[in-house]
Structures are given as structure tokens and as C-alpha cells.
Amino acid sequence: MNVSMKSKVSLKSLLDPDLSFAVEPIHAFRYLTEVSDMDTISLASPIEIHRFGHLIERGFEKALPGAIIIMVPEDFKKMNDPDSNSMPDSGLDPVAVAEKLKKARVACIFVTENSNVSDSWSDACQRVELPLLSVEMNDKILTDTLLDLFHLLTAPTQTVHGNMMDLFGVGILILGRSGIGKSECCLDLIMKGHRLVADDSTLLYKNRQGGVTGTASRNFAGCWMEIRGVGIIDVDLLFGIAALRKKKDLHVVVELMDWPDWKGEMKKQGNGRLSSQDLSRFLIREPGDSGDIEGKNLVKSYLGIDIPLIQIPVGPGRSIANLIEVAARKKMLEFSRSRART
């Protein structure tokens, strides 16, 4: 199992539009100052986001190295700046503020809602080579986006040879040998109205809530599928954007097995007949739930987290898509019961 993760993140990588394969990037941002090399600007880890208004109260020297500063339109009224409708006697000189933030080694400043930035403030940031960027987002959306981007760049990740689907809000990873019919099964599910997350190669990463989230790998566009005998198809073009999903939390792993291999697994546990032990392989339970037969609860571990596993034998006349739908409905029922208990 190859698990990778980054320890350092640069400002340039955080603004990389290619991250849109997994999360929404920061759209339509503009550089208000020129900085020579964004790769050399490292962000604090874990990420630190400061509100400019809070730093006014605490002191700009309290800003942490590598922190990101967010300015809202109201902050400009507190600057002692004739171009920004400043409050009388505010005492905040743009040059002095920029120098303090640069001395504190903050990473950059984001100005939200495309606020009008005065020449004196942008000139002050340019003078000390402090990156100043303008975005359309408000401060809440920008903060959430920054957290998601930083987490994606630093979280443990693992690439799996498998397909991922969203069925009724349940994230299902479909595994199996090459040629067993994973993509064909996903195509059946798409035609039933379900949504494709990734085909053939799925990138798993540990999300901010401590679970596992799946998305299409950076090198595999999520809208393409390869079907043997048909070729490569554009899911977006054929079925519409509603048939695609950028990412999904992983809830269940389904492993497609050749019928002889599946029977061999069964014989290891019994006399070849479908016993109670065999039946347990088709019961989707949360890891650690009581009531497992002989304590045998099949799970698949990704990034240190156990995910319920169901093994399905593939054979002539078996509708694998229907069986996976039933597995998803059973998981939905568990979600409903869990919410009812709380």
C-alpha cells in the first residue's frame, strides 16, 4: 500500500487551478502586487488564517509565519488612508501595517468581494513584496475553500485501481481484476441515474472529518470511461453533468470476484455449501458491530480506516448493478436508523 503526503505547501501550489479535479479552486483571483517566486512562499502547517480586523485588536506582530490574512471591505475603513474612506484618527498607516506583516513573515493577503483597493495600500504591499490578491468570494466561502485546498495538498492519499460511484448518496468503491466488468457495471448504474466519481483509478484521501473521500486521480479525468468493445466515452456528453460527481465520501467497498475464486474462498471456511459464514460475506456492517458470525466482519482498510467490504461473485445472468444498488439501499437504511437513534 503506497500512501503519500506532503509536509510543506507553497502559495503557488495552493492557487493551482489543476486542483479542480478534486475540490473547487479559488476562481477569478487577481494579483494586485507582483512577487517574483511564489514557490518560495511556504504556508504554515497546519494552515493559519487570520482576519485582518482581529489583528488590528491583537497586534499585527501576533500574525504567525506562513499565515494567510483575509481582508473584508469593512477593514479598509479602518486604514488611515485618504483614498479609502478611513476612520478619523485610526492610526493605521498602510506602509507601517505592510511592514509589520512582512516582518511577521505572513504568506499573503486576500481581499474579498473584489473590494476596491487603494493605490496606497497596494503600493505599500508591493514595496515590501507582500502578495496581495483580490477574489470574488466572501470571507466565509474563501476560508472554507482555503481549508479544503490545503487539506487536499497535505492529507494522506492512496491511489486504488478501482471505480467509484455515488448511489443514493452512498459512496461505493468497486474493485476487481482487470476485465471483470467494473466499468460496464458503472455504466449500468449511470443509466439507472447514479453518478460516476472515478473510473479505473480512484484517489483516496483522509478528509477533514477523519473519514475517507474518493475522487478521480489527477491524471484521469472523471468524465471519461473506457468500455471494452466500445472505446472511450464522454460521460458528460452522453449523460449530462448530473451523471458526474467530483468527490464522494467512501462508505462501502464492493469487490467483484470470478465465480471459481469466490467458491474457493467459501470452501476455505466450510464444506463448499452456502453456510451461515458465507452469508456473513453479504451483510454490510460497520466495523466493530456486534452480531458478526464468529466475529468475522469483512473490511477493507484504507489510510488506516476500516471500510465495510462485500464480495460479489460474477457469473452469467447475474445483474451486478442491481446487487450493488441493494447494497447501497441497505447502507441508506443504516444511515436512517443511525439518525433516528440520535
Boundaries of every domain in the chain: 11-154, 157-341
**Cell (9 digits) for 250:** 467512501
- pLDDT for 104 equals 93
For residue 56, name the pLDDT band (cuts at 50, 70, 90): confident
| Ranges 115-124, 256-265, 282-291: which has the least confidence | 282-291
DSSP conformational letter for 82: T
For residue 202, name the pLDDT band (cuts at 50, 70, 90): very high
Q: Which of 12, 77, 140, 161 is catalytic?
A: 161
Q: In whole numbers, what is the pLDDT of the chain averaged over residues?
A: 82
- pLDDT for 88 equals 41
- pLDDT for 229 equals 84
Please tell me the CATH superfamily of domain 11-154, with its number: HprK N-terminal domain-like (3.40.1390.20)
The answer on pLDDT for 294 being more than 70 is no
- pLDDT for 283 equals 45
Active site residue 161: yes
The whole-angstrom separation of Cα 106 and Cα 64 is 7
Half-sphere exposure of 73 (CA within 13 A, CB side): 7
Q: Under CATH, to which class is 157-341 assigned?
A: alpha beta
The whole-angstrom separation of Cα 312 and Cα 326 is 12
- Four-point Cα dihedral 124, 127, 131, 134, nearest 10: 40
The whole-angstrom separation of Cα 190 and Cα 272 is 35
Looking at the chain, the whole-number percentage of residues with pLDDT higher than 70 is: 80
- Four-point Cα dihedral 261, 263, 265, 270, nearest 10: -160
Residue 136's Cβ-count burial label (10 Å; 0-12, 13-18, 19+) is middle
| Ranges 1-15, 123-137, 250-264, 316-330: which has the least confidence | 1-15
- pLDDT for 268 equals 62
Mean pLDDT of 224-246: 89
Half-sphere exposure of 283 (CA within 13 A, CB side): 16
Q: Which of 188, 200, 236, 292 is catalytic?
A: 200
The whole-angstrom separation of Cα 258 and Cα 169 is 28
Q: Which residues pair with 98 in a beta bridge?
A: none
Q: Decide: 84 and 77 in contact? Cβ < 8 Å.
A: yes
How is 192-209 classified by DSSP, letter by letter? TT-EEEESSEEEEEE-TT
The answer on pLDDT for 292 being more than 70 is no
The whole-angstrom separation of Cα 21 and Cα 245 is 10
- Which range, 214-218, 291-295, 299-303, has the best average confidence (pLDDT)? 299-303
Q: Which of 50, 194, 247, 281 is catalytic?
A: 281
Which run of H or E residues covers position 142?
A: helix 139-154
Please write the tens of the pLDDT for every residue from 222-232. Answer: 688 888 888 88
Active site residue 200: yes
Three-state SS annotation for 236-267: HHHHCHHHECCEEECCEEEEEEEHHHHHHHHH
Write the CA distances from 151 to 5, 40, 60, 207, integer angstroms: 10, 20, 26, 7
Q: Which of 182, 248, 251, 331 is catalytic?
A: 182
Q: Decide: 243 and 190 in contact? Cβ < 8 Å.
A: yes
* 132-134 vs 30-31, strand pairing mode: antiparallel
> Given this chain, do its domains 11-154 and 157-341 carry the same CATH topology?
no
